[in-house]
């Protein structure tokens, strides 16, 4: 910013002089002498006008700025941000807070979610885009939320087949523990959601006129579900864990170890916000879990997902806190860390199981007549 200051008339020897300084960050070595036709009306007193260098010349207004600055202070107090970042972000509080939190998330996740699942993170002082748009959270409270940008995808059929070959119902135990653990922290779309959608289609058909019912097509969800999963019932956490732990030294131990780690994380307690009426629908599923590519579960998801953007959905995970209250802020950080860790373990498991899907596909292709002849 360029400032011009007029120190006023000052006495130099026996003469008088008016000095005008042009300050653009450094003092100019040149001074402009007074014109000869300028005279003073009175004798100079030797005093100068006060400098305006330290007086702010621009102001930035922040909505609910007090809460924002409290958040910035809390980040600094916990060594999650520093003065260097403050300078880099132009001393703008909202940019400083956003940059500090984004850096924290990136360092914590270490790129584990890249190309697997995509969330957008934001901090708000209202309920966001829900039914009660802009609704107050409470005095001095903020909401930190993860919004889903891209759903993750897992084909698990080949992995379940490999586990079932090892022991009857081992794949079923794996599938049960995976679904149950993820449901604690994220919404997933699996065969149970497809079954509900199929039932809903039948209800809609029954409400139609007889001549219009032939237009309905029903995905064959039951046929898409592997037989062990259809027949096995009454699973519990202890029974699934016992069966899986018997194979910790088996050929697929790395899958089981990764799943048990995810399960332990999912049982940690967090303070996730519960919404009642603020949004039209629950969160968009963070994971589509199918048995085979383009099976009936995926077909149901494709039909249902068309209406996701037509409503306001809850955040995938949200916490409410007051940044100046140490216990609340620490609890919010802990909850967000658990949410990220669960998703990171899920991303790692997807990577492992994708390899099994690739190998299974290669084995199937080797049985084709053209390849056998070659």
Tell me the DSSP string of 90-154. TT-HHHHHHHHHHHHHHHHHTTTTTTT-EEEEEEESB-TTSTTTT-B--TT-EEEEEEEEE-EEE
More confident residue, 107 or 218: 107
- 36 and 166 part of one domain: no
Residue 106 in any domain: the answer is no
pLDDT tops 90 at residue 31: no
- 70 and 180 part of one domain: no
More confident residue, 369 or 189: 189
Q: Which pLDDT score, from 0 to 100, does residue 25 have?
A: 46
Domain containing residue 4: 1-59
- 71 and 54 part of one domain: no
Residue 160 in any domain: the answer is yes
- 54 and 69 part of one domain: no
Q: Which pLDDT score, from 0 to 100, does residue 310 have?
A: 81
- 4 and 54 part of one domain: yes
* Token duo for residue 66: 């007090």
- 53 and 157 part of one domain: no
pLDDT band at 163 (very low <50, low <70, confident <90, very high): very high
Residues 152/285, Cβ–Cβ less than 8 Å? no
Which parts of 2-115 are beta strand (E)? 3-12, 15-23
Residue 132 in any domain: the answer is no
Q: Which pLDDT score, from 0 to 100, does residue 52 have?
A: 54
- 80 and 29 part of one domain: no
Rounded CA-CA distance 2/305 in Å is 55
H or E segment to which residue 65 belongs? helix 65-77
Rounded CA-CA distance 159/143 in Å is 39
- 275 and 356 part of one domain: yes
Assign 3 to helix, strand or coil: strand
- 185 and 80 part of one domain: no
Residue 22 in any domain: the answer is yes
Q: Which pLDDT score, from 0 to 100, does residue 214 have?
A: 75
- 265 and 191 part of one domain: yes
Mean pLDDT computed over 168-185 = 96
- 39 and 89 part of one domain: no
**Number of domains forming the structure of the chain:** 3
* Structure-token match 């009454």, residue found: 234
Q: Which pLDDT score, from 0 to 100, does residue 301 have?
A: 96
Assign 299 to helix, strand or coil: helix
- 310 and 345 part of one domain: yes
Mean pLDDT computed over 17-39 = 45
Per DSSP, the residues of 306-371 read GGGGGSPBPPSEEEEE-TTSHHHHHHHHHHHHHHHHHHHHHHHHHHHHHHHHHHHHHHHHHTSHHH
pLDDT tops 90 at residue 33: no
Upper half-sphere CA count for residue 208 (Cβ side, 13 Å)? 13
Mean pLDDT computed over 311-316 = 88
pTM of the model: 0.77
Q: Which pLDDT score, from 0 to 100, does residue 270 have?
A: 93
């Amino acid at each position: 910013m360029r400032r011009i200051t007029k120190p006023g008339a000052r006495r130099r020897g026996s003469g008088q002089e008016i000095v005008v300084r042009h300050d653009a960050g450094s003092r100019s070595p040149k001074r402009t002498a007074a014109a000869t036709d300028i005279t003073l009306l009175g004798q100079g007193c030797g005093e100068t006008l006060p400098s305006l260098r330290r007086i702010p010349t621009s102001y930035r207004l922040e909505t609910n700025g007090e809460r924002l600055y409290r958040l910035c202070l809390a980040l600094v107090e916990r060594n999650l941000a520093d003065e260097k970042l403050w300078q880099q972000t132009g001393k703008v509080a909202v940019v400083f807070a956003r940059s500090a939190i984004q850096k924290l998330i990136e360092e914590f996740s270490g790129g584990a979610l890249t190309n697997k699942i995509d969330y957008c993170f934001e901090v708000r002082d209202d309920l966001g885009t829900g039914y009660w748009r802009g609704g107050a959270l409470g005095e001095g409270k903020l909401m930190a939320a993860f919004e889903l940008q891209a759903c993750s995808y897992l084909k698990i059929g080949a992995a379940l087949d490999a586990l079932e070959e090892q022991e009857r119902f081992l794949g079923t135990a794996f599938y049960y523990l995976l679904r149950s653990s993820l449901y604690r922290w994220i919404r997933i779309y699996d065969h149970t959601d497809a079954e509900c959608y199929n039932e809903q289609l039948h209800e809609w058909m029954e409400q139609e006129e007889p001549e219009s019912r032939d237009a309905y097509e029903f995905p064959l969800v039951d046929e898409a579900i592997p037989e062990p999963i259809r027949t096995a019932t009454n699973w519990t956490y202890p029974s699934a864990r016992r069966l899986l732990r018997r194979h910790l030294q088996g050929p697929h131990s790395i899958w089981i170890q990764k799943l048990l780690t995810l399960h332990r994380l999912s049982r940690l307690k967090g303070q996730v916000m519960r919404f009642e009426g603020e949004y039209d629908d629950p969160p968009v599923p963070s994971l589509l879990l199918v048995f085979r590519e383009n099976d009936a579960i995926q077909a149901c998801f494709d039909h249902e997902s068309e209406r996701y953007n037509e409503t306001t959905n809850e955040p995938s995970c949200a916490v409410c806190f007051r940044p100046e209250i140490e216990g609340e802020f620490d609890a919010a950080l802990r909850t967000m860390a658990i949410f990220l860790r669960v998703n990171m373990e899920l991303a790692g498991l997807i990577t492992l199981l994708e390899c099994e899907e690739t190998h299974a596909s290669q084995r199937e292709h080797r049985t084709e007549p053209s390849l056998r002849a070659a």
